[in-house]
Structure 1
Amino acid sequence: MKHRSWIKNYERNFEQLAKEIGDLRYDTLAEFLRLLSQKIEQDGQQDRSRGRTQLADSLQRAAANLEESAESIELAWRISEPFMYPPDIIQKIRQEFVDREKVREALKLISAYSLYWDGAESFRLVRCLLHGTHGNLQQLRKNIDLARMDWRDLIIQAEYEGGTQQLRNYNHPFGEAEMLPDDPI
């Protein structure tokens, strides 16, 4: 049967499914709505090719409404994104990248990479991504590429500068991360 009335792990519990989808980060929710819109659009096209014009028209409207919802959620993301990170990270991004478009691009790159991170550890990794960029988006992309290969290499680069002595601890905000000689390692 192509169209089921249930989803594995959510058998008839759509209230829980709706809560979990609604709790997604807005950029992720927008992506989900876009993909759902595309799926409904494809179904409508298939029905149109079979001569089911009323059904196809209804599905096309639903797909368009889902796309419009994705755009609204994406706007909500752009409004809320600067508040998704601690103030020191936002301040660092604004200081480093200065130009509004570069700030937006830096946030977009970081958000896309950190999509699956949760908790305080993610802020450490974001700080490591920003370390040494000096407002250069290409360097930020290189840091992201390094982290994709192995996020521990990113930490070594940012906190140890490739050596064996820890120079900073980005579990702490920018400005508080530098290690003092008597700090425990």
Structure 2
Amino acid sequence: MRELPKDITDEMKIRFDSDLISANKILAKYLTENDYLNSDRIIRCVVYLTQNGIESFEKNLILAKTDPRDVILWAEYERGNGAEPKRVRDFNKTFQ
């Protein structure tokens, strides 16, 4: 697996703490098997959406594997009262 940008590794340390090694192994597996997921934007979206540890992380990677556009939509856009989704985050940029 290629070296990830510092902002992604820092955010993963915060979110996964003692499970960081497992999270890196899972991520490496998905990136190796699905080259189209090897995008900083997609990885940031998956990490951002992960709320409850390793299980949530792998679930989000599976969703990204199925259609990366879904995780981008869920991570970067918000919808209010049936309105069209509005972009509120841009994970082409770093977490900071």
| Coarse TM-score class (shorter-chain normalised) | 0.7 to 0.9
Structure with the largest fraction of strand: 2
Structure 2 counterpart of 1:93, one-letter code: M
Residue 128 (structure 1) shift = 0.8
User: Which one of 109, 119, 128 corresponds to residue 26 of structure 2?
Assistant: 109
After superposition, where does 1:7-156 map in structure 2 within 5 Å?
Answer: 84-99=3-18, 102-115=19-32, 116-117=35-36, 122-134=39-51, 136-156=53-73
Aligned-pair Cα RMSD in Å: 1.9
Q: Does the aligned pair in 1 maintain the 2:46–2:57 contact within 8 Å?
A: yes
In structure 1, distance between residues paired with 2:77 and 2:49: 12
In structure 1, distance between residues paired with 2:40 and 2:88: 18
Q: Which residue of 2 aligns with 1:180?
A: none
Greater relative contact order (Cα < 8 A, sep 6+): 2
Residue 117 (structure 1) shift = 4.0
Residue 134 (structure 1) shift = 3.3
Q: Which runs of 5+ in 1 are unaligned?
A: 1-24, 26-80, 176-185
The alignment covers a number of residue pairs equal to 89
In structure 2, distance between residues paired with 1:103 and 1:165: 32
Q: Which runs of 5+ in 2 are unaligned?
A: 80-84
User: Which one of 142, 162, 165 corresponds to residue 86 of structure 2?
Assistant: 165
Q: Does the aligned pair in 1 maintain the 2:76–2:87 contact within 8 Å?
A: yes
Tell me which structure has the larger Cα radius of gyration. 1
Residue 129 (structure 1) shift = 0.9
State TM-score, norm by structure 2.
Answer: 0.82
Q: Does the aligned pair in 2 maintain the 1:114–1:122 contact within 8 Å?
A: no
Q: Indicate the percent of aligned positions where both proteins have the same amino acid.
A: 30
Runs of 4+ in 1 over 4 A off after TM superposition: none
State TM-score, norm by structure 1.
Answer: 0.44
Q: Does the aligned pair in 2 maintain the 1:159–1:166 contact within 8 Å?
A: yes
In structure 1, distance between residues paired with 2:29 and 2:53: 17
